[in-house]
Amino acid sequence: MYMNSKKTPRVVLIVGKSNSGKTTLMEKLIRELSSRGFHVGSVKHTHHNLNFDKKGKDSWRHKNAGAVASLIVTDTKVALVKEDTRPDEEKFFHYLGDTDLILAEGFKTLSLPKIEVFRKNSPHEAPLCLEDPNLVAFVTDTDIRPGKKNCFGLEDINSLADFLEHHFLASFSKKSPHQARALNG
């Protein structure tokens, strides 16, 4: 059984404007890093008020009766409904602390390492984070190259995963890049 009881996962934010390809990049990176043997947690930021507890459902009734949290459990999944007003970063570590890496989509204002996605067919004129000191990589199909930052093409997932493995996952594995994949593949 996998347990990450000794090391705190690193967090990398995947940022970009609306419809820039953040979700697609997250999906590809999670698939690639998972195939290399890493345990990746994901977080999606939303400005919408999500309410999983529908009026009349059992979990809603429990919460309405005064439960401070309601855990819904199946044979293979859990869902937790709980008020949590802590800062976002604290929530990441509290709920996903048993992973090797947390990829978080959005949260562009947090002072954490960021990978920005920017596409040429985007309705937006310019990237968001070119001047952000937390920008560690830029993923694009344009000619924009932000200073000395690492740049990757939209489909250059293996190289971007190598970058993440080298810079953010090295403490979780003594294996060189791709060895985890060879062992699991």
pLDDT confidence of residue 122: 77
Asked if residue 179 belongs to a domain, the reply is: yes
pLDDT confidence of residue 174: 42
pLDDT confidence of residue 53: 66
pLDDT per residue of the chain (185 residues) written in tens, 0 to 9: 344 446 789 999 999 998 899 999 999 999 999 999 999 999 988 765 656 667 887 877 888 888 888 888 889 988 887 888 999 999 999 999 999 999 999 899 999 999 999 999 877 788 999 999 999 999 999 999 988 889 999 999 999 999 999 999 987 764 444 444 444 44
pLDDT confidence of residue 71: 83
pLDDT confidence of residue 2: 45
CA distances from 136 to 35, 121, 145 (A): 23, 23, 12
User: Both ends of the chain: CA-CA distance in Å?
Assistant: 19
Asked if residue 5 belongs to a domain, the reply is: no
Asked if residue 156 belongs to a domain, the reply is: yes
Nearest CA-CA partner of 60 in 48, 69, 73: 69
Asked if residue 56 belongs to a domain, the reply is: no
Rounded CA separation 55/95 (Å): 26
pLDDT confidence of residue 180: 42
Q: Which two tokens stand for residue 67?
A: 């439960």
Q: Which two tokens stand for residue 124?
A: 């937006």
CATH number, domain with residue 142: 3.40.50.300
Asked if residue 79 belongs to a domain, the reply is: no
Rounded CA separation 121/17 (Å): 12
Domain count, the chain: 1
Per-residue DSSP letters for 90-145? HHHHHHHTTSSEEEEE--TTSSS-EEEEE-TTSS-SS-S-TT-TTEEEEEESSS--
Task: Name the one residue in this structure whose structure tokens are 């953010």.
Answer: 168
Asked if residue 68 belongs to a domain, the reply is: no
Asked if residue 57 belongs to a domain, the reply is: no
Domain of residue 141: give its range: 10-49+85-184
Asked if residue 176 belongs to a domain, the reply is: yes
pLDDT confidence of residue 124: 79
